[in-house]
Structure 1
């Protein structure tokens, strides 16, 4: 089971305030623990929405609309994520609870969401085979 720990943005993260060295060290230690446990798939911080681009689809079948950031409502923004693969929902919660306060000042908030697997979306053998082939291609490209 894959889960994404979504770190919510704050006014500081949207303002481009960088984390303290103490917080960077704590997050590195946490990521090392995830690696040692063999559950870490990816982990990254995101730049503020001032450098973001939002693409929306305002009309069914219509042309997409491109909007440059910044975007409003920092509490709805994402400042970073950690993607893990674990055996259960409970294990994902345990790992999320171990993450240091992502902003280091009491404003941190993490949203934990399970990632859909192809088998959750369809039982069509052809679609599942294509998905597996694409994932295999990605793994092959990582080796190069």
Structure 2
């Protein structure tokens, strides 16, 4: 099972406050544990929403909205993508995580859909396309 662990933004992260050397060291050590255990697929921090944009869809209309965005508690400051056996396992890992920010912070854990979750609507042709695209994306990522 794959899970995305979402690091919720804070006022400081949205203001562009960078983590301390100590926190970077603690996070590096924690990420090293995840990698050595074979559960970490990816993990990154994100720039503040002031450097981002949203695209709103309404039928065929697309509207681009530049950041920053108001509701800090709804924003993402970073993420991990983990491959584990259960939600309980990812919870146990994340309880060991260093606090991402001074004071209070929050992580959200969400399971990633797998092909079999979509049922019959995800036809063999669509599965083949998905596999081909994932392989091509991995090949492109290895070039960089």
Deviation at 1:143, TM superposition (A): 3.8
- Superposed, 1:92-107 pairs within 5 Å as 92-103=90-101, 105-107=102-104
Partner of 1:110: 107
Deviation at 1:91, TM superposition (A): 1.0
Distance 1:39 1:72, change over 3 A: same
State how far apart, in whole Å, the 2-side matches of 1:143 and 1:67 are. Answer: 32
Structure 1 residues 101-122: Cα deviation after superposition (integer angstroms, max 9, x where no partner): 111x122100000011122124
Structure 2 SS opposite 1:64: strand
Mark the runs of 5 or more structure 1 residues left unpaired by the alignment.
none
Structure 2 SS opposite 1:47: coil
Structure 1 SS opposite 2:65: strand
Partner of 2:26: 26
Partner of 2:81: 83
Structure 1 residues 79-114: Cα deviation after superposition (integer angstroms, max 9, x where no partner): 0001111111111111111111111x1221000000
Kept in 2: contact 1:40–1:83 (CA 8 A): yes
Give the structure-2-normalised TM-score.
0.92
Instruction: Say what the alpha-carbon RMSD is for the aligned residues.
Output: 1.2
Kept in 2: contact 1:122–1:128 (CA 8 A): no
Deviation at 1:125, TM superposition (A): 1.2
Pairs aligned (count): 141
Kept in 2: contact 1:96–1:112 (CA 8 A): no
Structure 1 runs, 4 residues or longer, greater than 4 Å off: none
Give the structure-1-normalised TM-score.
0.92
